[in-house]
Amino acid sequence: MHTDLTTGSIKEHLLKLSVPAIVGYFFHTMFNVTDTYFAGIISTEALAALSLSASIFFMILAIAIGMSEALTSLVGNALGAKDIQKARHIALNSLAFAFLLSLFLSLSGILSVPFLIEALGDPSYTAQTLEYINIILYATLFFIGSFFFNALLNATGDMISFRNILILTAFLNIALDALFVYHYNYGVGGIAMATVISEAITMSYLLYKLQKSSLHLELKEFVFDREILKELLKQGFGPSMNMFMMAFGMYIITYFVAPYGKEAVGAFGIGMRIEQIFLMPVVGLSIATLAIVSQNNGAKMYERIAPSTHLALLYGFILSALGVLSFFIFGDFFASLLTNDAKVIEQAVLYLRICGFAFFGFVMIFIYISMLQGIAKPAVIFPISIYRQVLAPVALFGFLSTLDLEIYSLWLGLDAIIFSSAAFLWWYSSKKLAALH
């Protein structure tokens, strides 16, 4: 069985779906925070290495994440139309696609990573970055498998399974990091090994839960369907490029932060980890919005789409206000949990207190993108991503770098880019919502 999101209280559906997703992604982020903590114990260079690796690896996975979101939309629309056989047919073809995609992305990452690292021009943490990222890249299949299996479960309204396994692996990762870093002294390679083991367990569990759902898959029923793959690519291109550009944008920011020193790069990594914790509720709301909008769009219940979107925005703004307030009151404390380097803490707090205001913009970006995916209108996601993650940062940060300003100028510029992107998506999405009626 799957949860029917085309009837009943929108508020109840939104809370029922988003709360488990929020809890799950919170522990997923704590997973990353744990890695950052142990890297900080090793050295500031190791901390910088993980900061750089995060942006590089996210670029590799971004395409898979975007495609998995498209998969949620396609299967959700099929379930909303009460066509379970079509939903299973899409799911089977998507898994074949996921396997091929993992091979391609793993190979692409292994070949391109050395050039991306060299471009930053700081050899002090190059070796540790390669040590970490290469182990992760060889295990790309586990990450992509997890994304795709969870996307299928999300389409059925199941946000619980992902939450449960992320809680388990978050604690497992702490134990494995401690074992590999403290006991075996494997350094950043040990942190990567702990991540890979945890992700393999995550993928296996999600597959088990999928087979217990209404989408249980029988390989003997698999029939290759080129049209399904084309539709996946069509629906997934915008979201994939959005995620890729987010990751590439992280790399671009790191490029402009690097001249301020390894402490600044490490602080940026810490700031992002802390920021991600507070963004988890927004991510949960966006996932719930995608599932609700997809099913209602498939069922042609268009009158439920705008209220779902607006309610998610309201909740997101309330949570953002709490996050911004927390950074001003507890910013120093949060940063000190991940490093004892006074300069890194100072830089991380500066980032949090300036870029925290961008949360309100992120709420609009995440929710409106989910809504557009749900109604199968993702085309604008790609161009807005190009603007937000590449064109605007390169132009604005490049200009600011010629003025020899302090690093705070970059964070103010980042706020401006995010809010301008949010304003455009609000205008565009409002038009699409109005056209549904």
pLDDT class for 101, splitting at 50, 70, 90? confident
| Diameter over CA atoms, the chain | 63
Sequence-ordered list of residues with C-beta below 8 angstroms from that of 96, at least 6 positions apart, any chain: 222, 224
Hey, how many other C-beta atoms are within 10 angstroms of the C-beta on 174? 18
Q: How confident is the model at residue 235 (pLDDT cuts 50, 70, 90)?
A: confident
- Which three-class secondary structure state does DSSP give residue 38? helix
pLDDT category at 392 given cuts 50, 70, 90 is: very high
Calculate the average pLDDT of the chain. 86
Full-prediction pTM beyond 0.85? no
Q: Quick check: 300 pLDDT over 60?
A: yes
Over the stretch 37-94, which tens digit does the pLDDT of each residue have? 888 788 878 877 887 777 777 777 777 777 888 888 888 888 888 888 998 999 999 9
Identify the residue whose tokens are 């260079």. Answer: 45
> How confident is the model at residue 352, as a pLDDT?
93
**8 A C-beta contact, residue 156 and residue 3:** yes
- The token duo for 190 is 């040990």
Share of the chain above pLDDT 90, in %: 31
Average pLDDT over residues 365-386: 86
The token pair at 306 is: 């705008």
As a whole-number percent, the residues of the chain with pLDDT over 70 amount to 98
Q: Give residue 139's pLDDT band: very low, low, confident or very high (50, 70, 90).
A: very high
What pLDDT was estimated at residue 121?
55
pLDDT per position as a tens digit, 16-42:
888 887 787 778 777 777 888 888 788
As a whole number of angstroms, the distance between CA 399 and CA 192 comes to 36
Q: Reply yes or no on whether the pLDDT at 116 is more than 80.
A: no
* For residue 265, pLDDT beyond 60: yes
| Least confident range of 189-203, 331-345, 349-363 | 331-345
d(CA 393, CA 395): 6
Classify the C-alpha dihedral 149-388-385-284 as positive or negative: positive
pLDDT of residue 144: 92
Distance of alpha carbon 247 from alpha carbon 141, whole angstroms = 19
Residue 348 has pLDDT above 80, yes or no: yes
pLDDT value of position 437: 63
- What is residue 78's predicted lDDT score, i.e. its pLDDT? 86
Using a 10 angstrom Cβ sphere, with 0-12 exposed, 13-18 middle and 19 or more buried, the burial of residue 119 is exposed
